[in-house]
Amino acid sequence: MRSSVNPKLKAVLFDRDGTLVVDVPYNGDPTLVRQMPGAKIVLDSLRARGLAVGVLSNQSGVAKGLLTESQVADVNARVEELLGPFDVWEVCPHGAADGCPCRKPAPGMVHNACRRLGINPSEAALIGDIGSDVRAAEAAGAAGILVPTPATRSEEITEAKLVARDLAGAVQLLLEHT
């Protein structure tokens, strides 16, 4: 059953670090994974509405030699243990200088996730804690919502079209306004 509030919305994609889980820079240790307040409740409510959920994560630590892809996979598995199953995962292991079309703020991961889910990007939204998350969503044709943290720069908040105080507020905005 799809959302009765907004039938256009079919998937909500999330940034991982700083959005779903507490940001631990270049984390390769699953024991350090801690969920953000309210994340599990929000995800469960989306799943109950029949919406797909996914994670899109830049992991430049792999390109920098600070993490292995196996460590990233182990951390992602821990995220799923804490927050439940995700319909799609997209991880970009490239660095900012690599010119990768999937690395946020490029739209590649949003496009890939939507293709894998069988939906149009206009039927998806991406919730994240920094401007590159919102810019990736908008570049792909999806809705982008910023949930600021202390790491979010003030100009990113000013530039964002949709800003929410927390994950629950972001989902409420999506269900009412996309």
Q: Is residue 26 part of a domain?
A: yes
* 148 CB-side CA count, 13 A: 15
Task: Collapse the DSSP code of 139 into the 3-class scheme (helix H, G, I; strand E, B; otherwise coil) and give the result.
Answer: helix
> Measured between alpha carbons, how far is 76 from 152 in angstroms, rounded to an integer?
23
What CATH number is associated with residue 111? Answer: 3.40.50.1000
**123-140 burial by CB neighbour count: b if 16+ within 10 A, else e?**
bbbbbbbbbbbbbbbbbb
Task: Collapse the DSSP code of 143 into the 3-class scheme (helix H, G, I; strand E, B; otherwise coil) and give the result.
Answer: strand
| Run of H or E residues at 115 | helix 108-117
Give the per-residue pLDDT at 5: 43
Mean pLDDT, residues 124-139:
97
Report residue 6's pLDDT band, with 50, 70 and 90 as the boundaries: low
* Each residue's pLDDT tens digit, 13-42: 999 999 999 999 999 999 999 999 999 999
Q: Is residue 127 part of a domain?
A: yes
Phi, psi (deg, nearest 5) at residue 93:
-90, 10
Residues designated catalytic: 15, 17
Q: Which domain holds residue 58?
A: 11-177
Q: Is residue 163 part of a domain?
A: yes
Report residue 4's pLDDT band, with 50, 70 and 90 as the boundaries: very low
Give the per-residue pLDDT at 176: 82
Give the per-residue pLDDT at 111: 98
Cβ atoms within 10 A of the Cβ of 26, count? 15
* 127 CB-side CA count, 13 A: 31
Q: Is residue 138 part of a domain?
A: yes
Q: How many domains does the structure of the chain reveal?
A: 1
Q: Is residue 4 part of a domain?
A: no
Q: What share of the chain is helix, strand, coil (3-state, %, to 5)?
A: 40, 15, 40
Asked if residue 1 has pLDDT above 90, the reply is no
